[in-house]
Amino acid sequence: MIKRVFPILAVSIFACMLGSGIVVPLLPLYAESLGATGIGLGVIFAGFAISRTLVTPIFGRLSDRHGRKSFIVVGLFLYAVISPAFIWADTVAQLTMVRFAHGIAGGLILPIAQAYVGDISPEGEEGKWMGYANAAFFGGFGFGPLLGGVVTRYYGMDVAFFAMGGLSLLAFFIALFFLPEVTRKHAASAPSLSFREMGRSRLTGGLFGYRLAQTLARAAFFTFLPVFAAVRLGLGTDLIGILFAVHILLVAALGIPLGRVADRFSRRFMVVLGCLVTFAFMVMLPLASSFPTLMALIILGSIGNAISTPAASALVIEEGRRFGMGSTVAVFTTALNIGMAVGPILAGAIVDYSGINNAFYFGAVAVLAGAGVFVWFTSASRSVTV
């Protein structure tokens, strides 16, 4: 079943994430052109995460009851419709509202797609298939910055935003006509447990803390690396796009073999090791003085993320079989959304008052704290693979 269904899901989400990735290196520069300060830039990025935080638990629980396909299809359509609004936004407030609407659509897509993969993954192969899923999903997100940087340099930002909408529309049609609804039988038999009961699981608590801390670090990285690279190192949008593309594509590519490793070795150890490597990356990031040194550090950060992500995703699937896949993925994604909402604003305040370097140090401290929280919670959890 999974070998037949997965390619369709992967292609549709790949196309959507390719469009979303186009704006990664552009949005900070676009926002600055509208007069956004560090905090203003953080608020713009946070708008997406705030709205997705509000809707993800609701959509996750509903998809456990009614199936996944309809949520994914509606989300892809909304992505396509909302994308041109980036062009029409000419103030920081308007751009924030567009990001807020985009976040609602985002809550219908990636978390539900991850639950879909969890539904059809065979037991004992969770790491393998989540590795493939991350490669497909974030592979598209990785090619996006490269495409966006080149398109913007030669054709302008408006064309890049239209490209995002067109790719999302393509993904919508692929999912609408070719993606089967295979989860109703899973939804009918999903455990009827409350989020409060889920919160009593120490493994769920550890995963929530890990994901929140990791996302705080990544929020600082994604929000302020373009500004750091453009202002401090004088890099153009094409080179900034290459940096993001290498980072995300390397995470996607390494996720496949490391997902298989997570099925055979300690997933808990891999999560902690990945956090420590990411900590080292964030600490050294402000020391970059040229494109080659920045690229070397980007590769280090990619390795850290690729070590921890498949292992954590496999642990989420384990919990999903206890509490309902959509609901569990929603909780995990909510941690991500909170980090994306709070991280850019905190990092923006830090940049405004103490300089851009400290935004990256903030991320380093956050990810180290997250590793500690994960270890503390999961040391007493019997459900962790050790």
Q: Is 320 left (phi over 0), alpha (psi -120 to 50) or beta?
A: alpha
- Give residue for tokens 């490597």: 277
Token reading at 129 = 């298939």
**All domains of the chain, ordered by start, with CATH?**
2-378 (1.20.1250.20)
Mean pLDDT of the chain: 83
Residues 366 and 213: beta-carbon distance below 8 Å? yes
Q: Is 234 left (phi over 0), alpha (psi -120 to 50) or beta?
A: left
Transcribe 180-234 into DSSP letters. Answer: ----HHHHHHS----HHHHHT-HHHHHHHHHHHHHHHHHHHHHHHHHHIIIIIS-
Run of H or E including 322: helix 291-323
pLDDT of 272 reads 95
* Amino acid (1-letter code) at residue 89: A
- Give residue for tokens 């751009």: 95
Span 175-201, mean pLDDT?
64
Q: Is 90 exceeded by the pLDDT of residue 49? A: no
- 302-324 pLDDT, tens per residue? 999 999 988 898 888 888 777 77
Q: Taking the chain, what is the end-to-end CA distance rounded to the nearest angstrom?
A: 29
Transcribe 150-179 into DSSP letters. Answer: HHHHHH-HHHHHHHHHHHHHHHHHHHHHH-
Confidence label for 195 from pLDDT (cuts 50, 70 and 90): low
Q: Is 50 exceeded by the pLDDT of residue 386? A: no
Give the C-alpha separation, 210 to 308, whole Å. Answer: 10
Give the C-alpha separation, 264 to 300, whole Å. Answer: 24
Q: Is 80 exceeded by the pLDDT of residue 157? A: no
Token reading at 82 = 């909302």
- 349-384 pLDDT, tens per residue? 898 888 899 999 999 999 999 999 999 988 854 444
- Which of the 8 DSSP states describes residue 235? -
- Which of the 8 DSSP states describes residue 91? S
pLDDT of 368 reads 95
| SS3 track for 102-164 | HHHHHCCCHHHHHHHHHHHCCCCCHHHHHHHHHHHHHHHHHHHHHHHHHHHHHHCHHHHHHHH
